Amino acid sequence: MSSHLLHRQFPPSFVWGVATSSFQIEGAPHADGKGESIWDRFCRQPGAIADASNGDIACDHFHRLDSDLDLIASLGVNCYRFSIAWPRVQALGHGDFNPKGLNFYERLVDGLLRRGIQAFATLNHWDLPQGLQDRGGWNDRDTVHRFVDYARHVQARLGDRLDGLTTHNEPWVVAVLGHEQGSFAPGIKSRRTAMQVCHHLLLSHGLAMQALRADGATAELGIVLNLTSSVPATAMPADIAAAQRADARSRRWYADPLFKGCYPEEVLAELGADAPVVQPGDMGSIAQPMDYLGVNYYTRTVISAGGEAWDAKGRGLPVSDMDWEIYPQGLADLLVLLHRDYPGLPPVYVTENGGAFKDQAVVNGRVQDDDRIDYLRGHIAAVASAMQQGVPMAGYMVWSLMDNFEWASGYLKRFGIVHVDYDTQVRTPKASADWYRDFLKDWRG
């Protein structure tokens, strides 16, 4: 479908945004008494980050807030999704809150509202205060309560001006990459720990939802999951069963507790002694009604019973610079599956979707990233298709506003629709930014 017709598939109420996160763009690690985060610490471990970089400067967004807000407004989006760095608000994650810490986010939110843009804030996009990690981090049940206090503190100051408030971004990443594989902060390698961390993240989500509501929340409240569509490599029964197991581990392990109040039995059985300790009442606390579900989708996962990796690139299938297969149909399939599995599914935002590509250098003020335009157009069409199949879609947000610190890949991968020159901090909207702006202009009519 051409972009010209595609925009007509979306109602006037649809939310269109761009997304970022604090550690990936802000820099200013010590400004106004900010504390150390687990990512500040992790970046200093030799070999942890592909280009040995860190988040000390990143996109210097902290010092370029006003011009970055103008940049966001210039795209014509009606929403900006960002995250709040917990160690800015409470240096250690326990004890005193830092009254200066929220000034930056207050300026951010007020600046968005002045420009007619909705503010969608995330409380935890992975940069946990190191002071909490020193006490056991997400593996320690007390962190759950510290998170609830932090959530309430943020809401008390900003809640009246936020349109959306997300508890956690991608609990799978924190649990599995951070605590099982150890490739992300805090770099722990224990499945047992990972599963307990996961439970504590979900529990803190549920308890924070309850507390925020009790305090009179006006923003929409929800959580963001990174999900994939798990498909069997062949029609062989063994591959189909393996894909179902993968789906249970990667999708249902997170969504079942949120929407059904229980972990999938087959995953609990598979985990055995590594299953998390769940206290009486926890599952009920987790399963709070949500105003929305955020879904981050980048690629599908193809599963075979033998466990062989699916080499999309080797098979000549399109891949991004992360070597993730580009498969928009997987987004539609995933959204339809969520709608089928969870009756009463709340409105769904695609809170992240986008591609890293080896962009050409800036030539005459242009970066011609046609592959990213194709990626975005294909996935927006998949959202339209899901909507036609009855999924209550509410919005779509591009990952990312601008090139930024891509975690263990450092600055080597570029996801932005705006190019960042890290030597000069000059921002150059890519062709994909122009495409998105034009698309939104057509949609507004």
Write out the catalytic residue numbers. Answer: 170, 352
* DSSP structure string for 425-442: TEEEE-HHHHHHHHHHHH
CB of 255 to ligand IFM, least distance (A): 17
Pairwise CA distance, residues 351 & 344, whole Å: 20
CB nearer to ligand IFM: pick between 78 and 400: 400
Q: Note whether 180 binds ligand IFM by CB under 6 A.
A: no
Asked if 352 touches ligand IFM (CB under 6 A), the answer is: yes
In whole angstroms, the minimum distance from the beta carbon of 416 to ligand IFM comes to 10
Q: Does 124 bind ligand IFM (CB under 6 A)?
A: no
- For 245, other C-beta atoms within 10 Å of its C-beta total 17
Q: Hey, which residues between 375 and 414 contact ligand IFM (CB under 6 A)?
A: 399, 406
Closer residue to ligand IFM, CB minimum distance, 276 or 294 = 294
User: Cβ closer to ligand IFM: 21 or 133?
Assistant: 21
Query: Who contacts 308 (Cβ-Cβ below 8 Å, separation ≥6)?
Result: 233
- Give the three-state DSSP class for 166: strand
Output the smallest distance, CB 21 to ligand IFM, in A: 5
Distance CA 385, CA 379 (A): 10
Residue 378 C-beta: closest distance to ligand IFM, Å: 17
Q: Among residues 88 and 125, whose Cβ is nearest to ligand IFM?
A: 125
Sole binder of ligand IFM in the list 36, 127, 170, 325 (CB under 6 A): 170
Residues in the chain: 445
Q: Least CB distance from residue 363 to ligand IFM, whole Å?
A: 26
Angle between helices 329-341 and 253-260 (to 10 degrees): 40
Q: What is the rounded distance in angstroms from the CA atom of residue 126 to the CA atom of residue 83? A: 9
The binding track of 193-232 with respect to ligand IFM, each residue x by CB under 6 A or -, is: ---------------------------------x------
Instruction: Put residue 359 in one of left, alpha, beta given phi > 0 → left and psi -120 to 50 → alpha.
Output: beta
Distance CA 83, CA 22 (A): 5
Burial class (CB in 10 A: 0-12, 13-18, 19+), 277: exposed
Binding residues among 16-55 for ligand IFM as defined by CB under 6 A: 21, 24
# of chain residues touching ligand IFM (CB under 6 A): 9
Q: What is the DSSP string of 60-101?
A: -GGG-HHHHHHHHHHTT-SEEEEE--HHHHSTTSSS---TTT
Closest approach, Cβ 319 to ligand IFM, in A, equals: 14
Q: Output 207 or 418, the one with its CB closest to ligand IFM.
A: 418
Q: Is 324 in the site for ligand IFM (CB under 6 A)?
A: no
Decide if residue 296 touches ligand IFM (CB under 6 A).
yes
For ligand IFM, the closer CB: 22 or 143? 22
Return the SS3 of 350: strand
Residues 155 and 283: their CA atoms lie apart, in Å, by 24
Residue ranges in contact with ligand IFM by CB under 6 A = 21, 24, 170, 226, 296, 352, 399, 406, 415
